[in-house]
Amino acid sequence: MKKIPVRAIGSPGSASKATADFRIRDLRAITLGKERVEDFHRHDFYYILVLEKGKGNHEIDFESYPVTHHVVFLVAPGQVHRLTLGAGSTGHLLQFQAAFVQRNSSRALLRRAGYTTFHPLDAAGFKKISFSLQQMLEEYTTKQEGYEDVIQAHFDIFFVELARHREASGDQHTYAHTHERLASLQDLLRQHIGKYKQVTKYADLLHVSPYQLNALTRTFLNKTASEVIQDFVVLEAKRCLLGTTHQVKEIAFQLGYEDVSYFIRFFKKQTGHTPESFRQSFK
């Protein structure tokens, strides 16, 4: 099986940091009014698809989302996705390295927003972020004196407006705190999933009780903390199965399972497929 490709921003020889670590494009210049179909791939950068008008489907980490009007998709580095974008779709595509995010406040906003892949907006909310995108595109295209600073400023505004829209329906402090905790849990899972799978361990690392961690995941994700951990194991297994040519036993060991048979039974219970049949189904 050919492994899932990893794409880079693709701006070799860029003279400035802004164009090396950041790119913005009008979707019409990419699609030329035609349907666009992309197979599974990953990026080593952040990828934000902002759709003013759209139809199709976007599958991210093996979960399917509808492509509709006034929606933002945020794909973090390493996530697996494939996209079918219908003819006539309009909007913008943002691509940037983590190093491009300079202000601490913007890093925090990106961290919170990045936990959620699918961001539907209303017309008023979309209008606000659209203005910043148009300004970034103009500066990126014309490259007048000081354009890098202007791009950074509108980049920050874009994330502020996106966060405002997401948090408008509830208590902003609680919403932000919850997303920060969930983002921290995701970070810890990425770092330690091959070693730890106990709820108590992740609760300790987050400086909360297992009860508090379960309350957090139940309230926001409608899952127990144990289910969140199991889901992450399955996701990493799927990424390895489709993104590498490693044998199943190697993937099992990488994820902390010494008993390969147990790993196969666990994966089949969670997905309905053995690891090998899941891999074969994507050939």
- Residue 116 shares a structural domain with residue 139: yes
Which residue, 167, 191, 217, sits at the end of a domain? Answer: 167
Which CATH number belongs to the domain containing residue 118 in this structure?
Answer: 2.60.120.280
Residue 11 is encoded by which pair of tokens?
């701006």
DSSP 8-class letter at 98: G
Domain that holds residue 86: 6-167
Which residue, 112, 142, 167, sits at the end of a domain? Answer: 167
Checking if the pLDDT of 267 tops 80, the result is yes
- Residue 10 shares a structural domain with residue 148: yes
Burial of 52-71, coded b for 16+ CB within 10 Å and e otherwise, reads: bebbbebebebeebebebbb
Q: How far apart are CA 13 and CA 208, in angstroms?
A: 47
Which residue, 148, 167, 186, sits at the end of a domain? Answer: 167
What was the pLDDT predicted at 255? 95
Handedness of CA 231, 233, 234, 236 (dihedral sign): positive
Residue 98: which of 12, 20, 21 has the closest Cα? 21
Asked if residue 38 is part of any domain, the answer here is yes
- Residue 14 shares a structural domain with residue 135: yes
What was the pLDDT predicted at 16? 46
Task: Give pLDDT tens digits for 223-235.
Answer: 999 999 999 999 9
Residue 61 is encoded by which pair of tokens?
């980490």
Query: Considering its fold, how many domains does the chain have in total?
Result: 2
Which CATH number belongs to the domain containing residue 233 in this structure?
Answer: 1.10.10.60
Q: Which residues pair with 84 in a beta bridge?
A: 37, 57
Handedness of CA 237, 238, 243, 245 (dihedral sign): positive
- Residue 66 shares a structural domain with residue 116: yes
- Residue 193 shares a structural domain with residue 147: no
- Residue 276 shares a structural domain with residue 221: yes
Q: How confident is the model at residue 24 (pLDDT cuts 50, 70, 90)?
A: very high
What was the pLDDT predicted at 104? 64
- Residue 110 shares a structural domain with residue 14: yes
